[in-house]
Amino acid sequence: MDAILLQILNGLDKGSAYALIALGLTLIFGTLGVVNFAHGALFMIGAFCVVTLQRILNLSTVTLDPTKTDFLGNPLTIKTPYIVSWFGESMGASIINWSVPLALIVTLPIMLLFGFIMERGLIKHFYKRPHADQILVTFGLAIVLQEIIKAFYGANPIPTPAPEVFRGSFDFGVLIGMAENAVIYPYWRLVYFAFSALVIASVFAFLQFTTFGMVVRAGMADRETVGLLGINIDKRFTIMFGVAAAVAGLAGVMYTPINSPNYHMGMDFLVLSFVVVVVGGMGSLSGAVLSGFMLGILESFASMNEVKGFFEALYLPSIDQIIIYLVAIIILLTRPRGLMGRAGVMEE
């Protein structure tokens, strides 16, 4: 029981990331009719916003302290981040400590802007081109973004710790009246899950309760008709693209303490998020979220030693690497439209 609970919890954080990326993919696909192969790159850019912010916050003045020397007898250099000298010892240090959540504030406008520019500057010109061209151009963009990040930040993962309060783990089992040490769970993963639940809820609320959202939903159902009503749907779609980019970027920001950002994380997540979208059903927002969590949890179960051992006996070690694909194949063979897909979406 506790083992199962633990695996469900472990799957939540990856599932949250899948769900957030898949949600953005579906939004873009549903509104603009474009499959964005650069969406994973947006996730990665969000993560590197944190790295950049941390570097900026850690910019330091270097002073020599003649009273102390290192083991070679040279005066010891002391680095004082500007932030610390500006805001004082405790305030400055806690700003640096809280850089990951702080990055959310910085990243949101950056990603929105990035999304707008991308849609207006590139994607817009591809609405009337064949799907293959849309795929190819966003695919090219994904490579370009990834290589730029690699050129500036190198190929190695860059550790970005969570705020100190959230480092370490806690005993989740005790909280719900189970035995001690049965379910140990890192704080940050819980934060990540809560965060993504919040983002998902806000996106749904936004679509459900605002006029803007209503038009967008109508546009997803029937783009041409809404266009004929005289509503400037294109402008709304641009904003929608920005929102989708922001969702991916914020997902990337919060994911950094779980997985140190590297230049290829975008593509790794993109392929799996595509599988998530396909399993959930192309064009279905709730399907994307549902299958995101489902596949995340499934992946976590497959990495359990018991399960792995079972498959190892069948000469299939590390089954967790491919379990998502296997399940996707089975689902597609039995339900070609995915779990919650509508008829007529993407069936030319």
- Which residues bind to other proteins, rule: CB under 8 A? 35, 125, 129-133, 135-137, 139-144, 146-148, 151, 267, 271, 274-275, 277-278, 282, 315-319, 321-322, 325-326, 328-329, 332-333, 336, 346-348
Q: Which helix (H) or strand (E) holds 170?
A: strand 169-171
- Nearest residue to 255 via CA among 6, 33, 42: 42
Compute the least distance from the CB of residue 24 to other proteins, in Å. 15
Is the C-alpha dihedral spanning 342, 18, 244, 136 positive or negative?
negative
Comparison of 40 and 92: residue with beta carbon closer to other proteins: 40
Compute the least distance from the CB of residue 263 to other proteins, in Å. 10
At residue 265, what is the residue type?
Answer: M
The answer for residues whose C-beta is within 8 angstroms of residue 149's C-beta and 6 or more apart is: 44, 45, 48, 263
Comparison of 36 and 107: residue with beta carbon closer to other proteins: 36
- Nearest residue to 57 via CA among 90, 85, 96, 87: 96
Compute the least distance from the CB of residue 195 to other proteins, in Å. 27
The 3-state DSSP class for residue 286 equals helix
Compute the least distance from the CB of residue 161 to other proteins, in Å. 28
Compute the least distance from the CB of residue 282 to other proteins, in Å. 7
Distance CA 198, CA 157 (A): 28
